[in-house]
Homo-oligomer: A and B are copies of this chain.
Amino acid sequence: MKIQHIIHENQLGLLFQQGSFGLEKESQRVTADGAIVTTPHPAVFGNRRYHPYIQTDFAESQLELITPPTKKLEDTFRWLSVIHEVVQRSLPEEEYIFPLSMPAGLPAEEQIRVAQLDNPEDVAYREYLVKIYGKNKQMVSGIHYNFQLSPDLITRLFRLQNEYQSAVDFQNDLYLKMAKNFLRYQWILLYLLAATPTVESAYFKDGSPLAKGQFVRSLRSSQYGYVNDPEINVSFDSVEKYVESLEHWVSTGKLIAEKEFYSNVRLRGAKKAREFLTTGIQYLEFRLFDLNPFEIYGISLKDAKFIHVFALFMIWMDHTADQEEVELGKARLAEVAFEHPLEKTAYAVEGELVLLELLSMLEQIGAEPELFEIVKEKLTQFTDPSKTVAGRLVRAIEQAGSDQQLGAQLAQQYKAQAFERFYALSAFDNMELSTQALLFDVIQKGIHTEILDENDQFLCLKYGDHIEYVKNGNMTSHDSYISPLIMENKVVTKKVLQKAGFNVPQSVEFTSLEKAVASYALFENRAVVIKPKSTNYGLGITIFQQGVQNREDFAKALEIAFREDKEVMVEDYLVGTEYRFFVLGDETLAVLLRVPANVVGDSVHSVAELVAMKNDHPLRGDGSRTPLKKIALGEIEQLQLKEQGLTIDSIPAKDQLVQLRANSNISTGGDSIDMTDEMHESYKQLAVGITKAMGAAVCGVDLIIPDLKQPATPNLTSWGVIEANFNPMMMMHIFPYAGKSRRLTQNVIKMLFPELE
């Protein structure tokens, strides 16, 4: 199987580097001191029967986090990050994720509960494992790395070779080559990445085999880890032999099921091994990896990339390990696993040789410079074991006092990190906050999520066979298409609402400045707002709150509006406060008051200082990556201060309200205040009615109300509707500056998936 040659001849280097990736990461939930908890798997994660991302492995305390298959390792790590942030923020306050593979603070055996899955067989299997291996060994955690070559590559390679007649045979032997060479050279990865140098002695039934203060590279990959009886010998010589030997051990009862065979490489893509004979091996699962406690997610992207090219090299090399060489590889693994982490390995020469050849492969397949750097860095670790993960770890354990103490410290640090920007998902921070909030909730609940277009905030959600598409967090199939079209057009919106009997301020549209000015008599003494038909940023708007008093002011305001649009509206101005009602279906779920940017004096600090203090609020930032925007102190703000007889250096009196803006937009530093519970029910009902008149399922309704405590009456002095929005920025309600947070994304999920428990 001369893969190397074909790839080179046919310039397939790029295709060779393509593939699919997926990680499964186990870890224990622990208390602040690093001891394993005895609490059940948190109910907030929905049901493990279907959860695609958050599962439990052996024990109820043992989280298993699963990334969906992706084409790029960068994306795998984004998912790993998202799932971690969801889990960290959803755990009980006093619980943490333990960053080390070997358990610490093990509860008494009877207190370790196997995972309480719905399926009785799954529970029975775990009970069986307890009998065979004991509970403690099952509590060891690690990372499984799934890798699939590009199917397109395999097809091309098959077409370009002339050794095989059958495509399935070719594919099987290709993956088997990778598996066998991996087993032969896996000790290299162990040397570089192992991270289980010690464990508390309670872990061992018959006392610790390690001398006091003794460290090894990997307990987990040693005979003290979770491994099969050495008698269980499964052949990788051919798929046929693999199937036969595996079925043999199951039929003799030495294995309860095929899945009890714990090789460091598993052939994947079928429910039963026998299927490989007809459908082919689809991908491999590498199960060798200890959690890297120095990485917040247990593994670094660089190491994942290293593992990828290492796996590629396993088929690149001309030689294919035979069964004897596989056994040699396993023996070498066991040996290296028990070496001291700070000592050079016995096989450094072989390791260096392999990595040098790997570098030459990278050269030939036109790999990115980063990959060379990664491999070269690993190469240095053969001369300097202190740079390996295990090497660094023993020093860190010594410094912390114990593995448990180190784990506890890091667990706390990582959890705190996950809360730093609690309103966002770091890996999807380029998306809108509302969509990030929805993503958080669907991943938490276990709804299968695909990001169809990141820049366009387009998600595909799936529960069972039920598919829903969502854009911007709340645009769904539940709205009729005509609704946003109506809402997009203020004139049409108004006509529709008026027909339906809602209080709409009257307005007149003009397309010519001259005609508009000539209509002065129609508006004299009326409180009106003059605005361009289609600006959304408050530009060109003039308000005559006391009524239009003279033709000159009127003409001036029209002129300003016409600068922004060809069409201008002169509209009744309503006296009162504007509230945003968020309606979903038959219910107003949230009411928000937006207050113009302001600070309140304390007789001590200057305006500039008060602004700086207010801007320290965790929700304030640039306004796109944060729910609220920092207050600026630009020209407009300084003019506003001047009107109040203030400068940025003035020291306002205690409780003096200092306005920094006239407009209440959040995007200019305004405050958002939840008023849902304060608002009289009658207005909430009106907002629902308005939403229905728009034909919408989700709608943001802006009402002007003079007194939110008084019930609504039918005329314009009691309330009026200003606008209806089909993309109503749920984020404002989820992360208000003051008042209660309203997790609207959960309501969107309920609307989309009413069948979800």
Q: Mark A437-472, 1 if CB is under 8 A from B, else 0.
A: 000000000000010110010101000000101110
**Contact assessment for A452 and B492 in the assembled complex, using a CB-CB cutoff below 8 Å:** yes
A14 CA to B518 CA, complexed, in Å:
8
A143 to nearest B CB, angstroms?
29
Q: Hey, which chain B residues are within 8 Å of A366, CB to CB?
A: 518
Least distance between A724 CB and chain B CB atoms (Å)? 14
Q: Is the CB of B492 within 8 A of A458?
A: yes
Partner of A479, one of B11, B13, B450, B481: B481
Asked if B453 and A492 make an inter-chain contact with CB atoms under 8 angstroms apart, the answer reads: yes
From 505 to 531 in chain A, residues with beta carbon under 8 angstroms from any chain B beta carbon are: 518-522, 524
Q: Is the CB of B14 within 8 A of A521?
A: yes
What's the nearest-Cβ distance from chain B to residue A369, in Å? 13
User: Residue A495 contacts which of B12, B460, B483 (CB distance < 8 angstroms)?
Assistant: B460
A355 to B482, CA, bound (A): 51
Which of A450, A480, A485 neighbours the largest number of chain B CB atoms within 10 Å of its CB? A485
Which residues of A, 470-502, contact B by the 8 Å Cβ criterion? 470-471, 475-486, 489, 491-492, 495-496, 499
Q: Which residues of B contact A492 (CB under 8 A)?
A: 452-453, 456, 458, 469
Q: Does A695 contact B (CB under 8 A)?
A: yes
Find A12's partner among B13, B469, B521 (CB 8 Å cutoff).
B521
CB distance A469 to B482 under 8 Å? yes
Residues of B within 8 A of A478 (CB): 480-481
Q: At the interface, yes or no: A15 with Cβ under 8 Å from chain B?
A: yes
Given contacts A489-B456, A496-B469, is CB(A15)–CB(B521) below 8 Å? yes
Give A15 to B499 CA distance when docked, in angstroms. Answer: 24
Query: Do the beta carbons of A482 and B453 come within 8 Å of each other?
Result: no
- Give min CB distance, A227 to chain B, whole Å: 40
User: Which chain B positions have C-beta within 8 A of A11?
Assistant: 520-521, 524
Q: Which chain B residue lies CB-closest to A457?
A: B485
A12 to B525 alpha-carbon distance, docked (Å): 13
In the complex, the answer to whether A480 meets B477 with C-beta atoms within 8 Å is yes
Given the contacts A458-B489, A521-B12, A480 and B482 also touching, CB distance less than 8 Å: no
Contacts A13-B521, A521-B12; A485 near B475 (Cβ below 8 A): yes
A interface, size bucket: 35 or more
Residues of B within 8 A of A518 (CB): 14, 366
Q: Report how many copies the assembly holds.
A: 2
Provide the residues of chain B in CB contact with A477, threshold 8 Å. 480-483, 695
Asked if A491 contacts B453 (CB within 8 A), the reply is yes
With a CB–CB cut-off of 8 A, which chain B residues contact A480? 476-481
Of the residues B481, B495, B521, contact of A452 by C-beta under 8 Å = B495
Cα distance A470–B483 in the bound complex, in angstroms:
10
Q: Residue on B with the closest CB to A492? A: B452
For A695, list chain B residues within 8 Å (CB). Answer: 469, 477
A748 CA / B366 CA spacing, docked (Å): 57
**Residue numbers in B under 8 Å from A489 (CB-CB):** 452-453, 456, 458
Q: How far is the CA of A456 from the CA of B475 in the complex (A)?
A: 22
CB–CB A484/B482 < 8 A? no
CA–CA, A537 and B476, complex, Å = 29
Within 8 A of B (CB), among A150-164: none
- Pick the residue among B484, B495, B524 that contacts A481 (CB under 8 A): B484
For the complex, give the distance between the alpha carbons of A518 and B469 in Å.
Answer: 33
Minimal Cβ-Cβ distance residue in B for A472:
B485
A502 CB to nearest B CB, Å:
15
CB distance from A715 to the nearest CB of B (A): 15
Q: Specify which chain B residues have a CB less than 8 angstroms from the CB of A486 in the assembled complex.
A: 458, 469
A528 to chain B, nearest CB (A): 14
A568 to B460 CA separation, bound complex (whole angstroms): 23
On whether the beta carbons of A14 and B481 are closer than 8 Å, the reply is: no
Chain B residue contacts of A12, Cβ below 8 A? 521
Q: Are A482 and B470 in contact (CB under 8 A)?
A: yes
- The residue in chain B whose Cβ has the minimal distance to the Cβ of A500 is B467
Closest to A368 in B: B518
A3 vs chain B, min Cβ distance (A): 15
User: Quick one: which of A469, A477, A481, A518 has the most chain B CB within 10 A?
Assistant: A481
Question: In the complex, what's the smallest C-beta–C-beta distance from A623 to chain B, in angstroms?
Answer: 23
* Minimum C-beta distance from A362 to chain B (A): 15
CB nearest neighbor in B for A551:
B11
CB neighbours of A495 from chain B (8 A): 450, 452, 460
In the complex, which residues 524-563 of chain A have their Cβ closer than 8 Å to any Cβ of chain B?
A: 524
Residues of chain B lying within 8 A (CB to CB) of residue A14 = 518-519, 521-522
Contact A485 B460 (CB under 8 A): no
Q: Is the CB of B469 within 8 A of A476?
A: no
Q: Which residue in chain B gives the minimum CB-CB distance to A469?
A: B482
- Tell me how far the C-beta of A306 lies from the nearest C-beta in chain B, rounded to whole angstroms: 22
Contact (Cβ within 8 A) B476 A482: yes
Q: Could you list some 16 contacts between A and B, CB below 8 A?
A: A11-B520, A11-B524, A12-B521, A366-B518, A452-B492, A453-B491, A453-B492, A456-B489, A458-B489, A469-B486, A470-B482, A475-B481, A475-B485, A477-B480, A478-B481, A479-B482
Q: A14-B522, A458-B489, A481-B481 are in contact. List 7 more A-B contacts (CB 8 A).
A: A13-B521, A458-B485, A467-B499, A469-B486, A469-B492, A476-B482, A477-B480
Interface positions of A (Cβ within 8 A of B): 10-15, 366, 450, 452-453, 456, 458, 460, 467, 469-471, 475-486, 489, 491-492, 495-496, 499, 518-522, 524, 695, 726
By Cβ-Cβ distance, the 10 closest A-B pairs, closest first, are: A479-B481, A477-B480, A452-B492, A11-B521, A477-B482, A469-B482, A471-B485, A458-B492, A481-B481, A453-B492
